[in-house]
Amino acid sequence: MSELQTSPEHAQRREQLAQWVVSVLSDGNDLSFDKDLSFGNEGSGEGISMPLQAIGSDAGFRKYYRVQTPQRTLVAVDAPPATEDTHTFVDIARRWRAGGVHVPEVFAVDFECGFMLQEDLGDTPMQALLHNSSADQYYPELLDTLLSVQKQASENLPPYDETLMRFELSLYPKWFLGELLGFETEGSEITGQLSELFSVLVSTMLEQPQGTVHRDYHSRNLMFTPDGIVGVIDFQGALHGPLLYDVASLLKDCYISWPQEKIDQWFSAFMTRHPILADYDLEQLTTWFDLAGLQRHLKCLGIFSRLWLRDGKPGYLKDIPRTFDYVLSVCQRYPQFEEYALWLQEHVKPIMNERLKRVLEGASV
């Protein structure tokens, strides 16, 4: 199904969410919700129409709607329980907010239905503000916000372990090389090359300092809020894992790219002021940073391909070339990956460009 289409099931859930929002806003005795945001003396809310303004979805199955109350706007979230973990979102949101990270406050939640009513952080992702003239102003602040995330306790978070890392990496040969580009990836020379590459990436990620990892820390998941503070969203996948992962996710963003000298400048400045990483050699940190980024970008190539092929979401296809370029650049930089870089350059890139051209024209993206 196209991401632009609405199924009867989606329409039904939207109506259920609208009715739930009315009931929450009308219940002044609901201790999980601020009373000053309710309908006050307007009764129980029965018969009150609550329009929901769609404000988008994400790479998962969550859908977001803006709700206008007499006092302020809120965001209603539809997170289907079959695919989304609302319990984890709420738990992390409350702990991180108490720890000084500006995540949306959750005012009300129905775990059984997968509905939430939360703070509205506005319409401005940091991606919209990051230009050549503003990047030097904003990136230090975004990295400082990341430091606040990394200071959150990670003991209660699941581990970013070898099993998960290898599963994520498996998405690359299956969905990108195989399903999207048509390469035979089972029992071929490709399998041997990837086995060696994946083993290096996993061991490198496991050997670096560990802590709280947002796991999707980039310019679309950071909001410039109306009060001028950087807000953090889409954090429900947080894990205990490699500290350089989120740094690579931000500075080698799948949705916006910068010259290598800029990345190096922001990276080295952040390392010098980091309370844990400043104790390590910059060359070692750079290797951890590059290879954590390589693991992420291989995973994202698989995810972006799967979003189109399995889920009918073509919006991420245009980000594949940028993500691929990150992969190629790192492989070219490290001698142990030079052979794989040559194969990517000579065999994969031409097919990828031709395939994406045809798909994007057909999908009208």
- Give the Cα separation of 215 and 229 in Å (integer): 21
Contacts of 285 (CB under 8 A, 6+ apart): 244, 267, 271, 277
Instruction: Note the pTM of the prediction, 2 decimals.
Output: 0.90
Whether pLDDT at 116 is above 70: yes
pLDDT of residue 48: 52
Token match 């239905």: residue?
113
pLDDT of residue 35: 42
Assigned superfamily of 126-363 = Aminoglycoside phosphotransferase (APH), C-terminal lobe (3.90.1200.10)
Nearest-10 Cα torsion for 87, 90, 92, 97: -170
Contacts of 110 (CB under 8 A, 6+ apart): 20, 116
pLDDT of residue 43: 41
Whether pLDDT at 55 is above 90: no
Whether pLDDT at 8 is above 90: no
pLDDT digits (tens, 9 = 90+) for 227-258: 999 999 999 999 999 999 999 999 999 999 99
- Give the Cα separation of 125 and 232 in Å (integer): 10
Q: Please report which confidence band the pLDDT of residue 362 belongs to, taking 50, 70 and 90 as the band edges.
A: confident
Nearest-10 Cα torsion for 356, 325, 247, 89: 10
Whether pLDDT at 51 is above 90: no
Helices (H), the chain: 8-26, 86-98, 135-150, 162-171, 189-207, 244-251, 260-273, 282-309, 320-333, 338-343, 349-363
pLDDT digits (tens, 9 = 90+) for 102-113: 999 999 999 999
Average predicted confidence (pLDDT) for the chain = 90
Token match 């979805």: residue?
57
Contacts of 261 (CB under 8 A, 6+ apart): none
Token match 């329009």: residue?
51
pLDDT digits (tens, 9 = 90+) for 118-145: 999 999 999 999 999 999 999 999 999 9
pLDDT of residue 10: 80
Whether pLDDT at 293 is above 50: yes
Domain locations along the chain: 8-119, 126-363
Distance of CA 221 to CAs 182, 215, 308, Å? 32, 11, 21
pLDDT of residue 46: 52
pLDDT of residue 2: 39
Q: Please report which confidence band the pLDDT of residue 32 belongs to, taking 50, 70 and 90 as the band edges.
A: very low
Token match 């399998």: residue?
191
pLDDT digits (tens, 9 = 90+) for 269-278: 999 999 999 9
**126-363 and 8-119 share a CATH fold:** no
pLDDT digits (tens, 9 = 90+) for 136-189: 999 999 999 999 999 999 989 999 999 999 999 999 999 999 999 999 888 777
Q: Please report which confidence band the pLDDT of residue 60 belongs to, taking 50, 70 and 90 as the band edges.
A: low
pLDDT of residue 328: 98
Contacts of 194 (CB under 8 A, 6+ apart): 169, 172, 173, 185
pLDDT of residue 41: 38
pLDDT of residue 40: 39
Whether pLDDT at 47 is above 90: no
202-235 CB burial, b ≥16 within 10 A, e <16: bebbeebebbbbbbbbbbbbbbbbeeeebbbbbb
Nearest-10 Cα torsion for 62, 154, 159, 264: 80
Is there a contact between 217 and 149 (Cβ–Cβ < 8 Å)?
Answer: yes
- Give the Cα separation of 346 and 335 in Å (integer): 17
Pairing between β-strand 63-68 and β-strand 73-78 as defined by DSSP bridges: antiparallel
Q: Identify the CATH assignment for 8-119 out of 1.20.1560.10, 3.40.50.1370, 3.30.200.20, 1.10.300.10.
A: 3.30.200.20
pLDDT of residue 58: 61
Rounded mean pLDDT, 29-39: 41
Contacts of 72 (CB under 8 A, 6+ apart): 37, 120
Contacts of 260 (CB under 8 A, 6+ apart): 329
List the structure tokens of 223: 């909001």
346-360 CB burial, b ≥16 within 10 A, e <16: eebeeebeebbeebe
pLDDT above 90 covers a percentage of the chain that reads 79
